[in-house]
Amino acid sequence: MQIGLIGLGKMGCNLALNMKKKGHTVVAFDANKAAMERIQGEGIKTVSSISDLAQALTGRRVIWMMVPAGQVVDVVLINLKNYLHADDVVIDGGNSFYKDSITRAKDLEKQGVHLLDCGTSGGVDGALHGVCLMIGGWKDAFDYCEPLLKSISVEQGYLYCGKSGSGHFVKMIHNGIEYGMMQSIAEGFELMNKHNPTMNLAAIADVWNHGSVVRSWLLELTQRALEKDKNLESIKGIMHSSGEGKWTVETALEMGVPVPVITMSLLMRYRSQQEDTFSGKVVAALRNEFGGHAVEKKG
């Protein structure tokens, strides 16, 4: 299958290589010339514009976007729409908000173009060796693209989730769950480190991954990180939020579904970015006022 790929970041670049390895013809574009040069070195054809990319494809065109969620997706689609024809398929493989994907799909349908919202999981390594895909959109467009989707996924690693927005909705929930799982792992390892700083935490992650109830890829990654840096002293404990955890919590509030673990894991990410908070000062001052508890003074 011929694929036009827009976006050659870490995920996009590895997806292009994955597609090529599986026998697909890839034509790629990125505004970053260095990224284009890197992929050219891997034997993948590049073009200098989105219009050239559309024109380089023949027959029913499939164009895969791997760009950051938000305004960038809209900018690409506004440009791309000028060169698309009825029955062409656009795949948004990024982490777009599912409501935005529904709106974009309706807009593209006006000219007979089909949008597949495709939640992509597996990280950079998965993009190269086999992803996990959650796809929403027009079923006939999915059926047409299924050979491509199946070929770049791990075994049983792709699923048609339903109407437009479904793929990105499922991926949003996936990432919300991921937030909670990572926070739980982090808290447990902090407790063990506090109990005994000389404890071999990498070995604990390893043994847990051999038959325990909590075995997981996240624990494999924990082990890998701790083997590189025993107490993670080389990095700061600042956790950034990509947006999907926030969307999960907002959606839960809209639906009236309690998600306390995911919500707290999101709030902990915000808290990690504050070295010294006014709320913390207030609580420390109150404890000192009513109970005479000592407060730490700034030097």
Residue type, 59: G
At 100-122, the pLDDT tens digits run 999 999 999 999 999 999 999 99
Domains with residue ranges and CATH for the chain: 2-164 (3.40.50.720), 171-280 (1.10.1040.10)
User: What are the CA-CA distances from residue 204 to residues 183, 196, 211, 271, 295 (Å)?
Assistant: 17, 13, 12, 27, 36
Q: Retrieve residue 82's tokens.
A: 């000028």
240 has a pLDDT exceeding 70: yes
At 219-228, the pLDDT tens digits run 999 999 999 8
Structure confidence at residue 299 (pLDDT): 62
At 164-179, the pLDDT tens digits run 999 999 999 999 999 9
At 59-111, the pLDDT tens digits run 999 999 999 999 999 999 999 999 999 999 999 999 999 999 999 999 999 99
Contacts of 33 (CB under 8 A, 6+ apart): none
- Residue 209 banded pLDDT, cuts 50, 70, 90: very high
Q: Retrieve residue 144's tokens.
A: 């047409």
Catalytic residues: 171, 178
